[in-house]
Amino acid sequence: MGDNEKVLSYGDVILRKSDLKILRGPYHLNDRIIEFYFCYLSNSISPTINFVAPSVSFWILNVPDVDSIKLFVDPLKLPEKELVLFPINDNENFSLAEGGTHWSLLVYDRKKNVFEHYDSSSINKSYARKLFTNIKDFMGPSSASATFIEHFTPRQRNGHDCGLYVLAIAKEICSYRGDTLGEDWESVLKARVTPTAVSEMRNQILEIINDLSNQKGNSVSS
């Protein structure tokens, strides 16, 4: 089995030993790790926050027929959510499942009717704007007039931690606010999403996976 051996099934996500190697890094995070942590966060926060899976965000970003988005996202009930988080990847090779080199995060805040883009390297702006254009008409009655902004984001200091910055910001969104950002949100990001805190998330996520696996009678420490 080797790297393909399954270590944890959680929600709709199956993690394998190869994913643990990525987390032990330093490596660029893949879709499964992003989706796993989003699923983990969603189980402990308000149902008014929606975490969109990376595969769904990728489809919305690259869909050839924008009119088909409504049927695809209707089950997500996005118009009922106060916050919606979309992970964005710069993959342009649609035949390569784990392609791309950079992650960023697009967050829709309904109370402010704004899409906020968090990018730790300022690389994904064009992709974020395209996703914004594709999805904004399907977020609810007032979302057609929503605006797009590049939000302050702490800077990464290497070429592989972008996905961790996405997860760290998502974590702070869950812990800091229930359904909207406060005026001191930027100071929260500066204080809590530091290079050290972001780097430590690799071990934190590994510990979460190990704890969940142990609950099912398995160990992922090897």
Query: 75, exposed or middle or buried, with CB in 10 Å at 0-12, 13-18, 19+?
Result: exposed
Annotated catalytic residue 119: yes
In sequence order, the β-bridge partners of residue 164 are none
- CA–CA distance, 92 with 201 (Å, rounded to integer): 28
- Among 28, 102, 117, 151, the one annotated catalytic: 102
Catalytic residue among 19, 31, 119, 161: 119
Report whether 61 contacts 88 (CB < 8 A): yes
Q: Which residues contact 77 (CB under 8 A, 6 or more apart)?
A: 50
75 Cβ partners below 8 Å, 6+ apart?
A: none
Class of residue 85 by CB neighbours under 10 A (exposed 0-12, middle 13-18, buried 19+): buried
Residue 112 token pair? 């402010």
User: Is 162 one of the annotated active-site residues of the chain?
Assistant: yes
> In the annotation, is 160 catalytic?
no
Taking alpha carbons only, the member of 7, 54, 5, 59 closest to residue 31 is 54
Task: Report d(CA 16, CA 19) in Å as an integer.
Answer: 5
Give backbone dihedrals phi and psi of 13, rounded to 5 degrees, phi first. -105, 135
- Contact call for residues 167 and 54 (beta carbons, < 8 A): no
Q: Let me know: does 83 contact 49? Beta carbons within 8 Å.
A: yes
Among the listed residues 31, 151, 162, 174, the single catalytic one is 162
Catalytic residue numbers, as ranges: 102, 119, 162
